[in-house]
């Protein structure tokens, strides 16, 4: 099965989001390579006990994959909410 590639609606947003992910996960205590911020998923998976490996993971249950993405995405959403609240409070 082909790997799905999500595209951002705003041109150039991908680089900014990848940098944001790297910064958020670094603050969470993860070792993040700024050149490959998506690789933090392997560190998160190891911490959660999920057997994620590079390449094909079709045998990985959806629930396990969701735990990895939820940890990363949840951290990013919490940080975005905090940034929005800070900006609103300064207006």
Determine the length of the chain: 91
Residue 84: inside a domain:
yes
Model confidence pLDDT, tens digit, residues 47-74: 999 999 999 999 999 999 999 999 999 9
- How far apart are the C-alpha atoms of 58 and 14, rounded to whole Å? 25
Residue 54: inside a domain:
yes
- Record the pTM: 0.78
Residue 27: inside a domain:
yes
Residue 22: inside a domain:
yes
Residue 47: inside a domain:
yes
Number of domains in the chain: 1
What is the rounded average pLDDT of the residues 26-50? 92
Containing domain of residue 42, as a range?
13-89
- How far apart are the C-alpha atoms of 1 and 44, rounded to whole Å? 24
């Amino acid at each position: 099965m082909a790997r799905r590639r999500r595209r951002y609606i705003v041109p150039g947003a991908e680089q900014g989001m990848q940098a944001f992910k790297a910064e958020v996960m670094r603050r969470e205590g993860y070792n993040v390579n700024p050149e490959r911020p998506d690789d933090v998923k392997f560190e998160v998976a190891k911490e959660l006990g999920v057997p994620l490996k590079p390449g094909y993971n079709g045998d990985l249950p959806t629930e396990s994959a969701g735990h990895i993405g939820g940890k990363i995405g949840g951290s990013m959403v919490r940080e975005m909410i905090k940034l929005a609240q800070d900006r609103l409070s300064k207006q």
